[in-house]
Every structure is written in C-alpha cells, then in structure tokens.
Amino acid sequence: MIRSMLFIPGNSPSMLQNADIHRADALILDLEDAVSPDQKDAARVLVRRAVQALGFAGCKLIVRINPVDTAYCEEDIRAMVPLKPHMIMPTKVGCPETVQAVSAMVGEAEAASGIPRGAVGLIPLIETCEGIENALAIARADPRVKALFLGAEDLTSDMRAKRTKAGQEIGYSRAKIVSCARAAGVEVYDTPFTDVNDEEGIEADTALAKSMGFTGKASISPRHVPVINRLFSPTPEEIEYAWEVLDIIEEARRQGKGAISLRGKMIDKPIVDRARFVLQMAKMLGGEGV
C-alpha cells in the first residue's frame, strides 16, 4: 500500500544513498525534470547501479521517465524495466494513446529481459488540461495502469492559472482525476506541496487531498513524508468505529435484522465497505485488522 511517494533526483548520489531512510512507502526515482538534458545518460546508469547495489528494501520503486515525444523515453524504459520497478511514471500524458505507446515499449523491454509480461505497472502523470479532460480514458487505456498522478505545477501553467497554496485553481482537476481513477478502479495520487518550510501548509494540503479521496500524496521533501504517512493512515478513532460497524452488522445478521443503525446513523453497504477498507489498511500498517 502506498500512502507517500518521495521524489529522488536520479543523478544525485548523496540523495540516492539515503533515499530509503525517510520511511516513504514509495520512491519516485526521477530521470525527468530533476536531471538536466546533458546528464540523462549518467542518471540512467547511476539509478540502475544504485538500485542494484542498495536495494531500497521497504520502499516500492517508481521511475519517472522522460516524455514519450523525447529521444530519452525509450532508452529510459530499456534501462529501467530490467530493475522491475513497481511502476513507471510516463510524463505529460494527455491521451490514452501515449499510455499505450509506453506500455508497448515496456512490454518489449520485459520480454527482452525475461520479466513476466505485465510485471511493471504504469502511473501516468497527468499535468495538462488535455490530460485532465481525458483522465478516464487514460486510466482505462491499458491494464498496466495502476494509478493516476496529478502534477499541479505544469497543469496550472497550462491552465494559465496562478498556483496558490490554498489550491482553489486545481480544485476541479483534483475532483475530476479522483473521480476518473475511481471509475476505472485504479489508485490516485496528489501533487506535491512545494513549500518545504511551511509546516502548517503541508498539513492542510494533505488533509484536503485525503478528504477529496486521494489514495496518497507525493512529496519533494523528505520532511513531508511523516505528515503524509500519518494523515493517510487510519486514525485510532476510525479503526475503533470500523470495528463497531463490523460488530453491529454481525450482530444484526445473527438476529436476522435488516436495517441497523450505529450512533444514530443508518449502516448501509458503503459504510460497511469503508469499515472493511479501514481495517485492511490498519492491518497492512502493522496494526490489528481484518
């Protein structure tokens, strides 16, 4: 389960060698914006050797590759797929065809390196207006797509909107991408909060993302990881309530009752599903669950 994803610049040995200490659920090893055009080759080699030597046990690996319309994209895929990352993140994805093109390249690379077909997933980065409007088609474009990821910086520039901390300008995009991802049955991740020093800001922005339905959130600063992990984990109160829900429906089933209520609220199927999900999450995080 991924709550937090931490960006690590692909050509920085000092960042790579300590990438796994921050307890992020996933690392996004970045070959795109964090690497200048003349160092793309160096970053590919460094990331490959670092992953092979350091392992990063305990973190799922995601590699952000260069856009499909650049010469780097195919080489990125050929170099990264043999590492069997959990997902590859294609960038500037505006339409389903882009996803399919990347998926085909990933498939070839899997075959070439003897990896089972479909082992490597995709998490398209949606960061244009076109991408937002095509989000459902993108999420359904290919079985490799496991999640969508919203990139607000490029998106707001494409929208000709001003990027703000409150984030009203991306309210529609957030709601839309969550809705499309859920409709397609894939996970969905929120854009990073970019002010490293604003502790209240990251708290508020993460709480907002969780309340809107995101699965988790990316971060460019290791300092944001604990906040994201905390806010995207079930609270003790949520776990307690989930147990109560399951207890009461069990009780109702035994007594053959139809309609039941808890704390003055009707308990229907969505609430039961939600309770099961909360307890599953709690279990995965090492607590007591079902």
Partner 1 sequence: MSKLCTTLRSAMEKAGLTSGMTISFHHHLRNGDHVLNMVLAEAAAMGIRDLTVQASSLFDIHAPLIDHIKSGVVTGVEANYIGQLVGRELSLGLLDKPVVFRSHGGRPAAIESGRVHIHIAFIAAPTADCQGNLNGLYGPSACGSLGYAFSDARCADRVVAITDNLVPYPAMPASIEETVVDYVVPVESIGDPKGIVSGTTRITRDPVGLLIARYAAEVIRHSGLLKDGFSFQTGAGGASLAVTRYLAPIMKELGVKGSFGLGGITGYMVDMLQEGYFQKLLDVQCFDLKAVESIRDNPSHQEISAVRYASPDAKTAAVNNLDAVILGATQVDEGFNVNVHTDSNGFIMGGSGGHSDTAAGAKLAMIVAPLFRARLPIVVDKVITTSTPGSTVDVLVTQRGIAVNPARQELAHSLKAAGLPVYPIHDLRSMAERLTGVPRPVARGNRVVAKVEYRDGSLLDEIYQAKD
Partner 2 sequence: MTIVRSAVAGTLESSDALVSIAPSRQLEVHVESVVMKQFGDAIEASVRQVLRELSVTGAQIRVQDRGALDCTIRARVETAVLRGGEEKPS
Rank residues 50 and 239 by Cβ distance to partner 2 and give the closer one. 50
Query: What does 41 interact with, of partner 2, partner 1, none (CB < 5 to 8 A by kind)?
Result: partner 2
Rank residues 41 and 251 by Cβ distance to partner 2 and give the closer one. 41
Q: Which of 6, 70, 7, 5 is nearest to 40 (CA)?
A: 70
CA distance 79 to 63: 11
Cβ atoms 223, 193 nearer than 8 A:
no
CA distance 206 to 227: 8
- CA–CA–CA angle 233, 121, 124 (5° rounding): 80
The residues that touch partner 1, with contacts defined as CB under 8 A, are 15, 17-18, 21-22, 54, 221-223, 226
Query: What does 48 interact with, of partner 1, partner 2, none (CB < 5 to 8 A by kind)?
Result: partner 2
- Name the minimum Å distance from CB 7 to partner 1: 12
Query: What does 179 interact with, of partner 1, partner 2, none (CB < 5 to 8 A by kind)?
Result: none
**What DSSP string describes 185-214?**
T-EEEEPPP--TT-HHHHHHHHHHHHHHT-
Query: What does 171 interact with, of partner 1, partner 2, none (CB < 5 to 8 A by kind)?
Result: none
The residues that touch partner 2, with contacts defined as CB under 8 A, are 13-14, 16-17, 41-42, 45-46, 48-50, 52-54
Distance, CA of 180 to chain centre: 14
Query: What does 13 interact with, of partner 2, partner 1, none (CB < 5 to 8 A by kind)?
Result: partner 2
Coil, strand, or helix at residue 273?
A: helix
Rank residues 54 and 207 by Cβ distance to partner 1 and give the closer one. 54
185 CB neighbour count, 10 Å cutoff: 10
- Name the minimum Å distance from CB 108 to partner 2: 21
- Name the minimum Å distance from CB 57 to partner 2: 15
Rank residues 50 and 249 by Cβ distance to partner 2 and give the closer one. 50
Rank residues 48 and 182 by Cβ distance to partner 2 and give the closer one. 48
CA distance 122 to 103: 8
